[in-house]
C-alpha cells in the first residue's frame, strides 16, 4: 500500500481551548477562501499596542495582549486562515480586517478595522470610506459592548496535517470540543482534488463504526496514535480481511518460533 505523503504537520502545544461543535462546524463548512495566504517566509506576527486596543474596541471578544498575539501566530501557519488581500490589508477567516506592514520576515499588524460580518461595508473598504466622506462623517468602527461580548475567537485546531494521496490532497484538523460537561476531540478532513473541495469528513475518535474511511486517512490516523480506532474500524467494515491478515500474522509468528527452537 502506498503511504500518503505528509506535506505539513502542526501540533499547537499551547492551544488548550475547547469549542462548541456548532462553532467548529461554522468554521469547517465555511466558504473556502480563494485569497492567497502570506508567503511562508513570513514566520511570525508582531502585534502593536494600537492594534491590540482596536481589537478590543472593534473586533472582540476582549482578550489579553499575549493571548491575542499567540492566537494570531498559530493561525498564520494554517493555510487560508490569515490572507493577504492587498499590499496593506489582510483578513482573518474572511471576516476580520486588519492593516499590516512587512518588516523583514515579520508581519506587523498596525490596526484592526473590524469584522465584515458586523460592518459589511468593510468588504469594500473604498466604497465604505467614500460613503462616509460623502456625508462628512468620521468612520465609526467601534462595536457596542454587547456586540463585543457575543463574538467568538477564531477556532484553532490542536493538530493540523496536510497530506497527499495519489490524486487527492487532504487537510486534517483536530479540535477539542465541549459536549455537555465533558471535553472530547473531533477530527475533520477536507478532501481536495484539482483545487476543488470534494468532501468534508467528520471523524469521532470515540466512534469507529462510522462510514468507511480510505487508506490514506486511516494511515495518518494510525500515525496520530489512533491505532485502536483504526483496528476497530477495519474489523467493523472488513472483518474477513482483518481475520485473514491476523491468521497470516499468527502463522508467521509460529514459523519464527519453530526456527528459533531448532536453532537453540
Q: Are residues 132 and 52 in the same domain?
A: yes
Final residue in a domain of this structure, among 150, 181, 200: 150
The whole-number average pLDDT for the span 72-100 is 93
The rounded radius of gyration (Å) of the Cα atoms in the chain is 24
- The number of distinct structural domains making up the chain is 2
Instruction: Assess if residue 196 is contained within a domain.
Output: yes
- The verdict on 35 and 138 lying in the same domain is yes
Both 45 and 83 in one domain: the answer is: yes
Please tell me whether the peptide bond between 61 and the residue prior to it is cis, using omega within 30 degrees of 0: yes
Domain presence at residue 1: no
* Same domain flag for 117 and 218: no
- Candidates 142, 231, 190; CA nearest to 28 is 190
Q: Considering the chain, what percentage of its residues have pLDDT values greater than 70?
A: 88
**Does the residue 146 lie in any domain?**
yes
Winning range, highest mean pLDDT, from 32-46, 107-121, 242-256: 107-121
Using CA atoms of 217, 221, 226, 230 in order, give the dihedral in degrees to the nearest 10: 20
Q: 120 in a domain, yes or no?
A: yes
Which of 105, 133, 150 corresponds to the end of one domain?
150
Q: What are the Cα distances from residue 36, in Å, to 33, 81, 182, 235?
A: 8, 10, 37, 42
| Distance in angstroms (rounded) separating the CA atoms of residues 123 and 154 | 19
Regarding whether 164 and 110 lie in a shared domain, the answer is no
Q: Above 70 in pLDDT, residue 74?
A: yes
Residue 133: per-residue pLDDT: 47
Q: What does the CA dihedral 131, 61, 111, 37 come to, rounded to 10 degrees? A: -90
Q: Which tens digits make up the pLDDT trace of 116-161?
A: 999 888 877 665 555 454 444 556 789 999 999 999 999 999 999 9
How high is the pLDDT of residue 227? 94
Q: Give the three-class secondary structure for 28.
A: helix
**Mean pLDDT over residues 56-84, rounded?**
94
Whether residue 43 is found in the same domain as residue 138: yes
Q: Clarify whether residues 36 and 124 are in a common domain.
A: yes
Can you say how many angstroms the Cα of residue 146 is from the centroid of all Cα atoms in its chain?
Answer: 28
- Residue 135 has a pLDDT of 41
> What's the rounded Cα separation, in Å, for the pair 76 and 38?
8
Cell, residue 187: 477530527
Domain that holds residue 85: 31-150
Does residue 234 lie within any of the structural domains? yes
Cα 218 to chain centroid distance, Å, stands at 19
pTM (predicted TM-score)? 0.85
Amino acid at each position: 500500500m502506498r503511504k500518503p505523503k505528509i506535506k505539513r504537520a502542526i501540533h499547537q502545544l499551547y492551544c488548550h481551548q475547547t469549542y462548541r461543535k456548532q462553532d467548529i462546524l461554522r468554521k469547517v463548512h465555511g466558504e473556502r477562501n480563494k485569497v492567497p495566504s502570506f508567503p511562508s517566509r513570513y514566520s511570525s506576527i508582531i502585534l502593536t499596542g494600537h492594534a491590540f486596543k482596536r481589537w478590543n474596541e472593534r473586533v472582540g471578544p476582549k482578550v489579553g495582549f499575549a493571548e491575542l498575539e499567540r492566537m494570531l501566530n498559530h493561525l498564520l501557519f494554517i493555510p487560508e486562515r490569515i490572507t493577504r488581500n492587498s499590499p496593506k490589508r489582510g483578513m482573518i477567516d474572511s471576516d476580520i480586517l486588519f492593516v499590516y506592514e512587512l518588516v523583514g520576515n515579520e508581519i506587523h499588524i498596525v490596526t484592526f478595522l473590524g469584522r465584515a460580518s458586523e460592518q459589511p461595508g468593510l468588504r469594500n473598504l473604498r466604497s465604505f470610506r467614500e460613503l462616509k466622506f460623502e456625508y462628512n462623517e468620521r468612520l465609526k468602527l467601534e462595536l457596542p459592548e454587547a456586540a463585543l461580548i457575543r463574538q467568538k475567537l477564531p477556532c484553532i485546531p490542536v493538530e493540523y496535517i496536510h497530506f497527499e494521496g495519489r490524486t487527492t490532497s487532504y487537510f486534517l484538523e483536530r479540535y477539542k470540543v465541549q459536549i455537555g460537561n465533558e471535553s472530547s476531540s473531533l477530527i475533520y478532513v477536507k478532501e481536495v482534488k484539482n483545487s476543488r473541495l470534494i468532501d468534508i469528513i467528520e471523524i469521532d475518535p470515540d466512534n469507529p463504526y462510522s462510514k468507511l474511511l480510505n487508506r490514506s486517512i486511516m494511515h495518518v490516523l494510525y500515525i496520530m496514535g489512533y491505532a485502536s480506532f483504526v483496528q476497530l474500524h477495519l474489523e467493523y467494515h472488513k472483518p474477513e480481511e482483518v481475520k485473514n491478515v491476523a491468521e497470516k500474522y499468527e502463522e508467521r509468528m509460529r514459523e519464527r518460533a519453530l526456527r528459533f527452537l531448532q536453532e537453540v
